[in-house]
Amino acid sequence: MTAQFDPTTGKWIEVTPEGGALIYDANPEESDANEEFERSPNIALKLTASELSEISREVIEGVEEDERSRAQWLQKRARALDQLGLKSDLLSSVSAAGMSISTVRHPLLLEACIRSQSNTIGELLPADGPVKVKGEGDDATLLEDACNEYVVDVAKEYYPDTDRMIFQTYLAGAGFKKGYHCPIKRRPVIEAVDAKDLIISNDVTDLESANRVTHRIKMSQITMKRMQIAGVYRDINISDPVEETDVVDNKLASIKGIAATGNRPQDTSFTLYECYLNLDIPGYEHKKDGKATGLPIPYRVTVDKSSQEVLEITRNYDEDDEDCIKFVNFVMYPCVPMFGFLPSGYNHILGNTENALTAAWRIMLDNGMFNNFPVWLYKKGGTKNDRPDFRASPGEGIAIDSIEGKLSDSVMAVPYKETNPAFMGLVDNIAQTGQRLGGTAEIQVGEGRQDAPVGTTLALIEQATKIMAAIHKRLHTAQAQELCMLRDLLREDPEALWRGRTRPDNADAIIQALNDYTLTPRSDPNTPSQMHRLAKVAALAQRSDQHPDRYDCMAVEEEILRALGFADPTRFLLSPETMQQNQQNQGAQPHEVSGMVKLASDKMRMQSNESVAQIKARNDEANRQVKVLDIQQRAHDAEANRQAKIQEKSLDIAHSLAVHPDSQHSI
């Protein structure tokens, strides 16, 4: 291949054997700052067909082996979708024995996932952005504002994508984020990857030590063509795609009520394996002191599964790094690490409890169904009716010809047992155990004295939210790693912050700050909920009241206002200079200024304490009402059970009197 210089564009053009073209800048240092960023060229354009075939074979074989190692995990993931109870079925169905049985599911698992998801989203995704810069100064503030604007306003997919990932994290045990430079959007992208689409052998201990990480991508035919036109993938003819699904895809389609695959060939998506692995490619070997070492080095290889054609091979390390350390491409959000690489989720932790509650619910519903719409036995030939197999609907009478003896001697209802209080108590106990384990149990902060100290309330909240707090710490750590990955991507392409928009005047200061500072999550790893946060600031206010000489009252007020949800609390507070000027204008002595500052601070603290007290009072009243309803329900159940026993005893006595008229009985 030879390269020719194009004077009209000032670039070198090199035509490849596949018909593509490689374009190089004659003066790369003078290239346009807004030009699209490219981390690494596609070296698959320079490899022979036999070399590409060998790489494709190695990738496909490795991915298939990893798929086999997690087959049981996929089956369990599919069963977990059934346990959510999202599929709306009929109330009952006919079993193989011909009996009508209920099909409802207990929502324990669904409640645990939704509650945990809602709480986590409130902490990890604040409305004005999740990014906080670790540092102080005007440059740090500029960088923080620019990054939050990028995440919230530019990367609009970030919030809904993360929201869905958090639910899957709690359900399946793990969620993944992937960071890369998107050639179509022309900016860095942090996107969620479903755990079922990230193929990793369960024998590894973490992402860093995995020899092979594969992202299975479903790509539309239009997007595939765009990637080829952009020069990211080899511009070759690929056979028509074959739609492929797994057990999880089929289960999701069944729950949603949609088809798992499309009917139109042009709507069929390609299935790509984007594999991150180590290779020793001839001509691109790792060298030390000018000699090849034979060390496999990190690459990203993209292969079309159906045709097994290699579309892309790019290096996955910094070209200037002599050690060839691979880039951080994925971050895992874990729920509860236990055994193996993949953590456990609520489907593992609450699966058996949810199954037990579902079985109990169905038993109680079936008992009610058979008691209200009973099945009966009748003596063969003992009834004179046009249809020997008859059933009366509610409010309907069935005419039966006169027969010898009593009607009850020919027809008898099947004696199904009613649900007894002991069984209902067992069901309540199982549900409460599952709620405590899933972190969805109601926190009884209103027990005991109504004027309980804030420290006592905080201790109750902390005791009840230990599991949730531990998971929150893990997710906070994962988000910190994700923001570090975003920082590295923006350092490589800082112009992406403004690409397609007007470049701000302070852009150079922001770029410098991007190299000087670290991005961290805005969430607090030690505060898993808003209730916890309010209780903490109430305790802080209480301590500052007890020792006013040891606390900065203005700093305390700022912290209280932030906890109440105000992003910039300083706009509500007067500066000391303003307060001093106001007091001087009113004739106050300078030594009174500090007292006035404290007075204003005390007033704001009282207002915040009142807000916390109101929230606590509402929780107390709600808990009290729930207890009253529970007592009333238990009394109603006990009375119903007593009446049922009396009725049953009366029927027994009536039957006994009919058989032995001279006997005596009492209820």
R_g (Cα) of the chain, nearest Å: 35
pLDDT in tens, 613-655: 666 676 677 667 767 777 777 777 777 777 777 776 766 666 6
Q: How confident is the model at residue 252 (pLDDT cuts 50, 70, 90)?
A: confident
Q: Of 240-254, 347-361, 454-468, 581-595, where does the model show the most confidence?
A: 347-361
DSSP 8-state symbol, 187: E
Task: Write down the pTM of the prediction.
Answer: 0.69
Alpha helical stretches, state H, 10-137 = 49-69, 71-83, 108-124
Task: Say which residue the tokens 């006990």 belong to.
Answer: 638
pLDDT for 345 beyond 80: yes
Mean pLDDT estimate for the chain = 77
Q: What does the angle CA 81 – CA 83 – CA 88 come to, to the nearest 5 degrees?
A: 80
Q: How confident is the model at residue 29 (pLDDT cuts 50, 70, 90)?
A: very low
Residue 59 contacts by C-beta under 8 Å, 6 or more apart in sequence? 214, 273, 275, 277, 301, 303
pLDDT for 361 beyond 50: yes
Q: How far apart are the C-alpha atoms of 631 and 628, rounded to whole Å? A: 5
DSSP 8-state symbol, 241: P
pLDDT for 554 beyond 90: no
Rounded to 5 degrees, φ, ψ at 414 are: -65, 125
Cβ(315)–Cβ(40) below 8 Å: yes
Cβ(562)–Cβ(572) below 8 Å: no
Amino acid making up residue 432: Q
CA atoms within 13 A on the CB side of 455: 3
Cβ(390)–Cβ(474) below 8 Å: no
Cβ(374)–Cβ(411) below 8 Å: no
Amino acid making up residue 505: D
Domain ranges of the chain: 3-31, 41-69+174-334, 88-173+339-386+407-528, 560-637
* Mean pLDDT, rounded, for 504-523: 89
Q: How far apart are the C-alpha atoms of 188 and 63, rounded to whole Å? A: 27
Which residues in 155-269 belong to E strands, given as ranges? 174-182, 187-193, 198-199, 212-219
Cβ(520)–Cβ(480) below 8 Å: yes
pLDDT in tens, 647-666: 767 666 666 666 555 555 45
pLDDT in tens, 291-304: 888 889 999 999 99
